[in-house]
Every structure is written in C-alpha cells, then in structure tokens.
Amino acid sequence: MHHEITAARKIIEEIPEKDRGQVESIEIEVGELAEFTAEELKQSIEDLTGWKVEVKKVISEIQCSCGFIGQANILNRQGHILIYNCPKCKSFAVRPLVGQDIKLKRVVSY
C-alpha cells in the first residue's frame, strides 16, 4: 500500500510544484511488468491529487535463452512481486526488455 503511494508521489513530483495546482489531467504509461498495476497507480494518484488520470498499459517484451522474444507469460502477481516466464519453453531465466517502467507521458492544465 505505502509503496504505491511512493510511486505515485514520484510521478506527481515530476511536475514542478508551482504548476500542480493547474493540472486537470495526466496520462501515464505503465508497463505490464512494473511493480504496480495501472489500476493501483491511477487510484493512488487520483486520491493524492484529485487529477484525472489516464493510463496506457504497455505490453511487455522479454528475451529468453531459447530464442523467444515477445510478451511475457505472467503467472502470478502478489503485491508487487510479479512472477512471469517464457511462454515458449517455460523458463524463468528471461530478461525483460520492455514493460518495467512507469512514465509520465502528458500533462493537461487548465
């Protein structure tokens, strides 16, 4: 619970303090393999600020030693522990290429 508030604050703090009062909505991009789900972050930011938050989910991309490159097979998420493997050979020794980041994409002011 507290971790996602920290993540939400980090996003909020990317906007200069003097401008935060004028924000109407923001758009964030949340990777499928990020520590927090798009829904958790949206809720936390909205609770902290009252801004409208639009979320774009980013599909993951992993690289496996079997040669597979593509979307991770997500098995389970418990809190911010995410378990995923290669959908082709089921190996857990995969390297995430895309999908771990949370980014502020757009700020709409009044």
Q: In 3-state terms, the chain is what percent helix, strand and coil (to 5)?
A: 25, 40, 30
Q: C-alpha angle with apex 4: 36 to 79, nearest 5 degrees?
A: 55
Contact region with Zn ion (CB under 5 A), list: 5-13, 48-56, 62-70, 102-110:
62-70
* Residue whose entry in the numeric block shows the structure tokens 């009252």: 50
Among residues 48, 59, 66, 93, which is the contact residue for Zn ion, using CB under 5 A?
Answer: 66
Q: How far is the CB of 20 from Zn ion (least distance, A)?
A: 44
**CA 64/CA 53 separation, integer angstroms:** 34
Binding mask 78-107 for Zn ion (x = CB under 5 A): --------x-xx-x----------------
Residues near Zn ion (CB under 5 A) are: 64, 66, 68, 86, 88-89, 91
